[in-house]
Amino acid sequence: MINESAEELWENFKLQNSTLPNHYDLMTFGDTKDRANHSAALILEGLKTAKTTLLLEYQRKEKSVPQEGSYWMILDGNEQAIGIAQLLKVSILAFDQVSAEVAYEEGEGDCTLTGWQELYQDYFEKQCKEEHWHFSTKIEVVCIQFEFVYAA
């Protein structure tokens, strides 16, 4: 599916950065329109610069884990491009090994590690139940830290 707002934004970004690759991934945060809009607002405010996903989610979708240095075209809940992020660090680790730094950069709740663990454990437990996966604090997650480099 072609996303015209993303294509236009990428072409404008490439005018300023001629060495960019031709590929980017479309990225919407959250599992609902409201969550996607909330996350988009946090990103635009500079409060959200990380994303954590279950490794099983990549495996279920038969998608590769994103690579450091690659780009995301970030979409809001209406699938409109809000800007471009470059991936700075990609880590695969156990849920209970996620750092306070990543928790803070997620920009959710009170931005503490304890707050992040409570919020994301609830979210991942629900996701695991829906997918018939087993959740434990040793489940592997993909933590992606990014820089928002270009706004629409």
Query: Across the 152 residues of the chain, what is the mean pLDDT of every consecutive 10-residue run?
Result: 86 91 91 94 97 96 95 96 97 98 96 97 96 97 98 95
pTM of the model: 0.93
pLDDT of residue 1: 57
Alpha helical stretches, state H, 21-112: 33-44, 55-60, 100-106
> Please, are residues 24 and 71 in contact by the beta-carbon 8 Å criterion?
yes
pLDDT of residue 3: 87
pLDDT of residue 18: 85
Q: Per 3-state DSSP, what percentage of the chain is helix, strand, and coil (rounded to 5)? A: 40, 25, 35
Q: Which helix (H) or strand (E) holds 16?
A: helix 4-16
β-strands 25-28, 71-75: how paired?
parallel
> Please, are residues 62 and 68 in contact by the beta-carbon 8 Å criterion?
no
Structural domains in the chain, sorted by start: 4-151 (3.10.400.10)
Structure tokens belonging to residue 54: 């279950």
Q: What are phi and psi of 51, to 5 degrees?
A: -145, 140
